Structure 1
Amino acid sequence: MEDTSFRSKNLLVLRVFALGNESASLYDRLKNYWQFKGPIRLIAGHDLNYSTLDIDDLIEWQLNGLKYRFNTSATRLQENLKKMDLLPDKDGSYRTSEMYCTNVTWKMVLKALLKDTDVVFMDLRRFSKTNQGCAHEIIALIHEVDLSKICFVVDQRTDLKLFENVAREAWSNNLPLESPNRLNKNTPISYFRYDGAKDSDALWHHLENISRDTTASNSR
């Protein structure tokens, strides 16, 4: 009998682009862990080029250089959202969908992705004051995504004081009336410290708990 209790979950991956190969290493492990749970979506960047390319990307790159993947307007964004491959392949695994942006459109793309995500994985290792894009993403998450759905990952290089200050700013600076975190102002933001592959199993357990809580809240 087919198991009808399973429901795929969209995972949005955000990260500090400056991590380079470190970002790709953790992403590869994350992809292997999540691939049978649901589709992964992320904003494309040079740090994950080889980790996220699949055969469809290579074919399109050969044909037209991926120019149609770039979200240069709201209209193009809606077209690309509709084209996202959210169904599993024959082996039951799900694919990664990359959203290509410009410096002008990435905030619009982020906002669109946040509207339809079940779990957010944000890699904040080496987060510092130079990562203004990540600071914007943290604020956007607190404004629009229930904290219980977010997995923040840090390490010894993460400026935790800055992280806390940005989060405090998100709550004090025009928090939308419809924000799911409006009643969570006094709730401390939890994060997971990841110092290498040795912490992977514990990280997946943490992410599994977040995913399970998401499933429970969606079934109520």
Structure 2
Amino acid sequence: MLPGKLFFLLVVATLLALIGAWVVARSYRRSMQRLMKAPVAEAQAAGAPDRSPTPPTLARSALFPTLDDNNEAHRRLLFSFIGLTLVIALTRTLLTQFIADGPITLKTVATLGAAYAWPVLPVLAVIGRWSRPRFVGAMLGWLVLAILLLSWRTNENISFAQVVGWMLFDTGLPLIVVTALCLGGATRAVGPWLAPLFVVLSGSSQLGLDLLAAMIEAKSPFIAWLASWMGATTAFTLFAVLPWLIAWWPARALGRWLARGYRERQISELFYLFTAVWTIALVGPALGAIHDLGGWAIVCFAPLLWIPLGAMLMKRFAAQAMIGNPPTLLVLRVFQQDANAQAIFDRVIERWRLSGNTVLIAGTDVADRTIDAEDIFTFLDGRLAERFVSHASDIETRLQQFEFQPDVEGRYRINECYCHDNTWQQALDRLVGISDVALMDLRNFKAKNAGCIHELGVLASAQKIARVVILTNQATERDAAQAAVAGAPADRFVWLDEHDKAGLKPADILAALFPSATVPNAVPQPQ
């Protein structure tokens, strides 16, 4: 009964986390929109004089990473996670064979290790921002290849049907859980962080129902009275839901612990997802071993011990490859162009994070791409308003909270300024002051977009920014945009035009962000 209960618990927690992620993301965007439009007191408005001390400009390095450095960092990231996956898969194979008293030969270990290495696909999918259909197709392809490999390598005592059933059990539940939680927009950003909380809450419901079953078996008169008073269905629901009132406190403490670990860089998003995927993958073997090992079935999770060691090695390799101080990228865009902004974050910013930091003014258009553990649990605690810049001094406080150190795998984080409608201009001035390069998406820009006109003017007059990459398309009113940057240094702005239906290539945009790179398809700036 215990394996079945745990299996059901995981399924229920996944469904609740999926629903919770959608609700939290939707509520988060609504709260952001409301707070951005909230009025600010007259003394705190953007027009108030700024008497706060100006912090020193961030130190610039004479060495700026190149596009080749970025490509090398991307390859190193992929190969590191692939290598760590293979080590964990081989360890799982040896452990499983030892527990089952199965043969431990080179052929057996290599074959099973290859089949068990499927968690590398979710990691590659998250790094590459794969769509759900692409990920499911890759997983199904892996499943077919694994079945064929195992059928070829196993002896005649194991039928093809047994191999198929075994692989479906091993990958079926993980595939559902990973596809639901670790891919997509809001679910990928929010779902994995909520899942442990719903495991705690769902577990409390299971304990409540176990208590009800025990009382029924003992023929408790209280249960008989309760069922006669409110009905059997209501009593059942009461025992399933009431434990949440108690379990909410440890679940909330767990969420705050995760947020604190993320804030202090003890947890990175990518390693958290990697650990979650492998934990899910090892649930099946642990459930299968409960019958023979009892509580000792927890040893099936021993391969997870490789993850801290892998993180330590990846951090060391990333530090050795670091060139000078990481550059900072400022991202600006035409608001209300959600699809364009999200695509830029998926295809360009995710790659840039291997070379340097990213700063921007927060907006609902990219909330699903920028929300992190600290944002989620700050919002759930009802403290999102505390993050907003209400007056000039708040800008410096917010900048001091920016995280400019890389996570253990070498990726830099995205830092946001949450601004009201009448404080964003001051925040922009400071963000430009700490940035080395800027990327501004002006596709579908119109001359009436006064905010973008102001941003262009600030970028044109900035003293230390090295390069500004402007994205345009046929709908962009270029004359107004180019007039706003008149007088800027001749080599500061690089204009990339989306001249056909194929759109702008992410590789071209990424190349344009590195001052030493040759920019393909660049449009000369008019003088």
- For Structure 1 versus Structure 2, the TM-score category normalised by the shorter chain is 0.7 to 0.9
After TM superposition, the structure 1 stretch with the greater mean CA deviation from structure 2, 39-48 or 60-69, is 60-69
Q: Secondary structure at the match of 2:412?
A: coil
Any conservation in 2 of the 1:114–1:145 contact (CA below 8 Å)?
Answer: no
Structure having the larger proportion of residues in helix = 2
1:62 is displaced (CA, Å) by: 1.0
Task: List per-residue Cα deviations over 1:108-150 (Å, max 9, x = no partner).
Answer: 0000111111111111111102210000000011011557411
Aligned-partner Cα distance in 1 for 2:431–2:491 = 25
* TM-score between both structures, scaled by the size of structure 2: 0.35
Specify which of 11, 19, 22 is matched with residue 337 of structure 2.
19
Equivalent residues in 2 for 1:88-99, closer than 5 Å: 88-99=406-417
Amino acid of the residue matched to residue 199 of structure 1?
Answer: K
Q: Secondary structure at the match of 2:426?
A: helix
Task: List per-residue Cα deviations over 1:23-52 (Å, max 9, x = no partner).
Answer: 111222122211111111100111111111
* Aligned equivalent of 2:495: 191
* Aligned equivalent of 2:352: 34
Amino acid of the residue matched to residue 206 of structure 1?
Answer: A
Question: How many residues are aligned here?
Answer: 198
Change in 2 beyond 3 A, CA 1:57/1:191: same
1:212 is displaced (CA, Å) by: 6.0
Any conservation in 1 of the 2:436–2:465 contact (CA below 8 Å)?
Answer: no
Equivalent residues in 2 for 1:1-220, closer than 5 Å: 2-3=320-321, 5-145=323-463, 148-168=466-486, 171=487, 181=488, 184=489, 189-194=493-498, 199-208=505-514, 210=515
Relative contact order, higher structure (CA 8 A, sep 6+): 1
Q: Secondary structure at the match of 1:191?
A: strand
**Gap runs ≥5 in structure 1:** 172-180, 214-220
| Amino-acid identity (%) | 27
Aligned-partner Cα distance in 2 for 1:83–1:38 = 17
4+ residue stretches of structure 1 with deviation over 2 A?
A: 1-7, 145-148, 186-190, 194-198, 210-213
Any conservation in 1 of the 2:471–2:497 contact (CA below 8 Å)?
Answer: yes
Change in 2 beyond 3 A, CA 1:54/1:122: same
Amino acid of the residue matched to residue 190 of structure 1?
Answer: V
Q: Secondary structure at the match of 1:80?
A: helix
Aligned-partner Cα distance in 1 for 2:494–2:397 = 35
**Gap runs ≥5 in structure 2:** 1-316, 519-527
Task: List per-residue Cα deviations over 1:173-196 (Å, max 9, x = no partner).
Answer: xxxxxxxx4xx3x66943011365
For the aligned residue pairs, the C-alpha RMSD in angstroms reads 2.3
Q: Secondary structure at the match of 1:158?
A: coil
* TM-score between both structures, scaled by the size of structure 1: 0.81
Answer with 1 or 2: which has the greater Rg.
2
1:165 is displaced (CA, Å) by: 1.9
